[in-house]
C-alpha cells in the first residue's frame, strides 16, 4: 500500500481501501451509486434469508398482510364498530405506510453491529448496510400495498385514482426519512448498543402519535387546532405522508357515521393543491434530512473497526 495513504483509508487487509470518514458528501453519494449492484445484492440476500427453509417462501409476504387485513375487517365490521364506513380501508392505508417505516428503521438500527465481520474485513460504503434493509422494507411494502389495492377492488370501495399522482412524492419522502433515521441510528448503535432497544420503544410511542388507528378529528390535531398550534401536529414527518395515502386510498374526508348518523371528519378537508404543496415541502425536507444523515454517518464511521 502506498505510504501516503491516510490512516482513515487503512484496513486490516493491505489489498483494499475503505471509504474515508472524511469523504465529501458528494463523493459519498457517488460511492453509493457506483456500488448499487452491491446494494441490490444485499437486498435480495436479506429477503432470501428471511424465508430460507420456508415451504411457501415469498407467498408468506402476501398471506401475512392478507390475513391481517381480513382480521381488521372482521374486528371493525362486526365487533368494534366505530361508525366510520369502510374503516378497515382507512386503517390499512395508514398501516402499510407505518409498517414500512418501522420495519426499515428497526432493522437498520443494529445492522452494522450484526454484520461486524463484514464491516471489518471488506471495503465498501457502510451506509449500504442500512440502505439494504430499507430496500427490503420497500419490497414488503409493495406486496402489502398490492394486497390493499386488491382488497378495495374486491369490496367495491371507491378510490379516487385520479389523485394517485400524490403517492410517489409521499412514498419517496417516506423512504428518505426511513433511510435517514436508519443510517444515523445504525452508526450510533455501534457506540451505544442500548440504542437498538430504545428505538423499539420510541417506535411504539411514535405509532400512537401518528394518525393510523384514529381519524383526523379524533387525533391530537383537534386540541392543537383550538389553541392555534396545529403546526405542532405536523412536526411528525410521517403524519402528512400517512394522511396523503389515506386521502388517496380511502377517498372521503367527511363521512356519515353508521352508528349515530352524524358527520365525521375522518381526514382534513383540504383542497388537493394543499396536499400537493404539503408533499412538496415534506419531500424537500426529506432530501435535506437524508443528506444530513449521510454527513453524520461520515463523522461517526471512522472508529467502527475499533468499536466493533
- Which pLDDT tens digit goes with each residue over 156-183? 888 888 999 999 999 999 999 999 999 9
Q: What is the pLDDT of residue 217?
A: 64
pTM: 0.84
- Which pLDDT tens digit goes with each residue over 46-91? 888 877 766 566 676 677 777 777 777 777 767 667 677 878 888 8
Mean pLDDT of the chain: 81
Q: What is the 3-state secondary structure (H, E, C) of the chain?
A: CCCCCCHHHCCCCCCCCCCCCCCCHHHHHHHHHHCHHHHHHHHHHHHHHHCCCCCCCCHHHHHHHHHHHHHHHHHHHHHCCCCCCCHHHHHHHHHHHHHHHHHHHHHHHCHHHHCHHHHHHCCCCCHHHHHHHHHHHHHHHHHHHHHHHHHHHHHCCCCCHHHCCHHHHHHHHHHHHHHHHHHHHHHHHHHCCCHHHHHHHHHHHHHHCCCCCCCCCCCCHHHHHHCCCHHHHCCCCHHHHHHHHHHHHCCCCEEECCCCCCEEECCCCCCHHHHHHHHHHHHHHHHHHHHHHHHHHHHHHHHHHHHC
pLDDT: which is higher, 37 or 263: 37
pLDDT: which is higher, 141 or 79: 141
- At residue 299, does pLDDT exceed 50? yes
- Which pLDDT tens digit goes with each residue over 274-298? 999 999 999 999 999 999 999 999 8
Amino acid at each position: 500500500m502506498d505510504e501516503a495513504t491516510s490512516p482513515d483509508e487503512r484496513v486490516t487487509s493491505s489489498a483494499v481501501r475503505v471509504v474515508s470518514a472524511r469523504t465529501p458528501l458528494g463523493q459519498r453519494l457517488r460511492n453509493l451509486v457506483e456500488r448499487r449492484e452491491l446494494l441490490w445484492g444485499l437486498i435480495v440476500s436479506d429477503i432470501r434469508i428471511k424465508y430460507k427453509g420456508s415451504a411457501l417462501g415469498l407467498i408468506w409476504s402476501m398471506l401475512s398482510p392478507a390475513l391481517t387485513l381480513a382480521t381488521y375487517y372482521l374486528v371493525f365490521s362486526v365487533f368494534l364498530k366505530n361508525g366510520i364506513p369502510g374503516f378497515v380501508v382507512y386503517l390499512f392505508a395508514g398501516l402499510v405506510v407505518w409498517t414500512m417505516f418501522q420495519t426499515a428503521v428497526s432493522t437498520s438500527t443494529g445492522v452494522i453491529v450484526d454484520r461486524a465481520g463484514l464491516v471489518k474485513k471488506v471495503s465498501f460504503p457502510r451506509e449500504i448496510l442500512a440502505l439494504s434493509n430499507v430496500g427490503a422494507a420497500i419490497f414488503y411494502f409493495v406486496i402489502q400495498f398490492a394486497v390493499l389495492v386488491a382488497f378495495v377492488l374486491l369490496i367495491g370501495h371507491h378510490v379516487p385514482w385520479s389523485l394517485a399522482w400524490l403517492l410517489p412524492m409521499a412514498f419517496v419522502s417516506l423512504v428518505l426519512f426511513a433511510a435517514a433515521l436508519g443510517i444515523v441510528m445504525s452508526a450510533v448503535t455501534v457506540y451505544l448498543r442500548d440504542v437498538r432497544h430504545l428505538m423499539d420503544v420510541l417506535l411504539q410511542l411514535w405509532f400512537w402519535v401518528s394518525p393510523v388507528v384514529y381519524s383526523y378529528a379524533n387525533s391530537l390535531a383537534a386540541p392543537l387546532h383550538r389553541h392555534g398550534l396545529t403546526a405542532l401536529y405536523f412536526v411528525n414527518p410521517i403524519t402528512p405522508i400517512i394522511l396523503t395515502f389515506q386521502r388517496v386510498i380511502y377517498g372521503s374526508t367527511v363521512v356519515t357515521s353508521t352508528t349515530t348518523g352524524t358527520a365525521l371528519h375522518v381526514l382534513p378537508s383540504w383542497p388537493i393543491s394543499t396536499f400537493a404543496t404539503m408533499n412538496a415541502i415534506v419531500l424537500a425536507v426529506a432530501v435535506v434530512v437524508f443528506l444530513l444523515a449521510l454527513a453524520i454517518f461520515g463523522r461517526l464511521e471512522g472508529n467502527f473497526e475499533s468499536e466493533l
